[in-house]
Amino acid sequence: MAEQDEPIAAPGRGEEPTAAELAAMERAAALAWDSAGRTSPNPPVGAVILDVDGHRVGEGATQPAGLEHAEVMALRQAGRAALGGTAVVTLEPCNHQGRTGPCSEALIEAGVARVVFAVPDPNPRAAGGAQRLSEAGVSVLGSVGQAEVARAAIGPWLFAVSQSRPFVTWKFAGTLDGRSSAPDGTSKWITNAVSRADVHALRDRVDAIVVGSGTVLVDDPQLTVRGVRGAADGELVARQPLRVVLDRRHRVPADAQIFDDAAETIRLDTAVPRFALKALYDRGVRHVLLEGGATLAGAFLEARLIDEVVGYLAPTLLGAGSAVLRGAGITTMSEAVTLDVSEVARMGDDVKIVGRPRWASGQEE
Ligand code: AOF
Ligand code: ZN
């Protein structure tokens, strides 16, 4: 997918994207990013409408499942100004009557003269929008900025639908020497406030947070999103991800914080990562954040079910205590899992590192 960076034009209608269209695509990608975590099982998509003169007259993002697609939101805002204009969308407009009407028809009806999109729709039920539009005389340009867009908001969704399981991000916080707690079990506040706020922003973009029963019994975490998206410090954000505890033996008591009414929570009666992911996919989950503990993360890694790693490291040394990762089945250096690193960021004095296990990097391509 990343190789196809060359824009593909519909037959006979090839034109380079204009500067205004490229800028609109960047804006559409930002709108999509903003809707991440709020659209599943639908993809987070962004759309911008330019009028005949290339001015932005409408924008929108995918609404929660069953509600409007991005194009419809943007067209609504543009009104009559869409006539003769251009729609710039991060995903190929759909061509099907699903829970909402086909976006291809909505664009044709609004009199849009040109459609520029980034990623072709891999869903066979919805695909065909580009063809329908060009048959109706609309100039269509696809794969504009595809690689960038696919790497951002819609990436986990694309991966999930191609693999029929959610994309898994494993997040951990540890000391510089890779410990998540001291020998006496204390573990509070290893990383600083900047890192912790960043974790909330990460939770805000996923559909579900998964933990093992051991983590709940030891830490009693709440696993909610607080203090981001304009919510005051410590205050709950309106949309909360599903909380999931893998608890085959029903060890987690009903008064654990994850069962409070701040968000929905489910208990899965399995310790097998693959079954857990299948159950979550069937519920519409497309992006999972795995938050612990070390043994569960090891099981996911051994099964090659970790697609992205987000690690927060504090400049602290413990020399003893639990490791952030355990039991991944690795015995020798040649079996070590290497990450292709996409981000290294300073979080105050902590360091955040983001990467994809090498085996996963090419999977969706
Ligand atoms: C678009 N624009 O903003 C999104 C699209 O069940 P439905 O009717 O909501 O359709 C869901 C499918 O539509 C989804 O699987 C994907 O292929 C496409 N999503 N398409 O034109 C959008 N979110
Ligand atoms: Zn649509």
CB 232 within 8 A of CB 209: no
In a domain, 365, yes or no: no
Same domain, 141 and 255: no
Ligand closest in space to the Cα of 126:
1
**Model-level pTM?**
0.92
CB 120 within 8 A of CB 144: no
Distance CA 292, CA 325 (A): 9
In a domain, 240, yes or no: yes
Which residue type is seen at 251? R
Q: Which residues surround ligand 2, an ion (CB under 5 A)?
A: 69, 94, 103
In a domain, 3, yes or no: no
Number of domains in the chain: 2
CATH number at residue 77: 3.40.140.10
Beta-bridged to residue 88, according to DSSP, are 48, 116
Same domain, 294 and 203: yes
Distance CA 222, CA 314 (A): 22
Same domain, 176 and 324: yes
- Give the domain-ending residue among 110, 135, 157: 157
Same domain, 59 and 195: no
CA-based nearest residue to 53, from 24, 23, 22, 20: 20
CA-based angle 233:236:238, to the nearest 5?
130
In a domain, 26, yes or no: yes
- Give the domain-ending residue among 157, 176, 198: 157
List strand residue ranges (DSSP E) for 83-166, in order. 86-91, 114-119, 139-142
CATH number at residue 255: 3.40.430.10
> Hey, which of 34, 42, 103, 281 would you mutate to test ligand 1's pocket, going by the most ligand atoms within 8 Å of its Cβ?
42
Q: Can you list the residues of the chain whose pLDDT is less than 70?
A: 1-14, 361-365
Please report the pLDDT score of residue 51 as a whole number.
98
| Residue 92 CA, closest ligand 1 atom number | 21
167-175: strand order across its sheet: 265-268, 242-246, 208-212, 287-290, 167-175, 308-314, 350-357, 339-347
CA of 167 to the centre of ligand 1 (A): 18
Handedness of CA 97, 98, 101, 105 (dihedral sign): negative
Same domain, 69 and 189: no
| Cβ neighbours, 10 Å, residue 360 | 22
DSSP state of 42: S
In a domain, 364, yes or no: no
Please report the pLDDT score of residue 34 as a whole number.
95
- Give the domain-ending residue among 157, 190, 205: 157
Same domain, 106 and 203: no
Among the options 21, 59, 68, 71, which is catalytic? 71
Same domain, 152 and 174: no
Same domain, 129 and 245: no
Helix (H) or strand (E) holding 312: strand 308-314
From the number of C-beta atoms within 10 Å of its C-beta (0-12, 13-18, 19+), residue 294 rates as buried
Distance CA 358, CA 346 (A): 23
Please report the pLDDT score of residue 276 as a whole number.
98
CA of 11 to the centre of ligand 1 (A): 24
CB 207 within 8 A of CB 242: yes
Nearest protein Cα to ligand 1, atom 2: 69
C-alpha distances in Å from residue 82, one per residue of 86, 102, 115, 200, 243:
7, 17, 11, 37, 41
Distance CA 227, CA 178 (A): 27
CA of 127 to the centre of ligand 1 (A): 9
Same domain, 150 and 169: no
Could you read off the pLDDT of 172-200 as tens digits, one per residue? 999 999 999 999 988 888 999 999 999 99
Same domain, 73 and 112: yes
Same domain, 117 and 232: no
Same domain, 51 and 15: yes
* Bridge-based pairing state of the strands 114-119 and 86-91: parallel
| Cβ neighbours, 10 Å, residue 214 | 18
| Domain boundaries, position 127 | 8-157
In a domain, 106, yes or no: yes
Which residue type is seen at 274? R
In a domain, 145, yes or no: yes
In a domain, 2, yes or no: no
Please report the pLDDT score of residue 15 as a whole number.
76
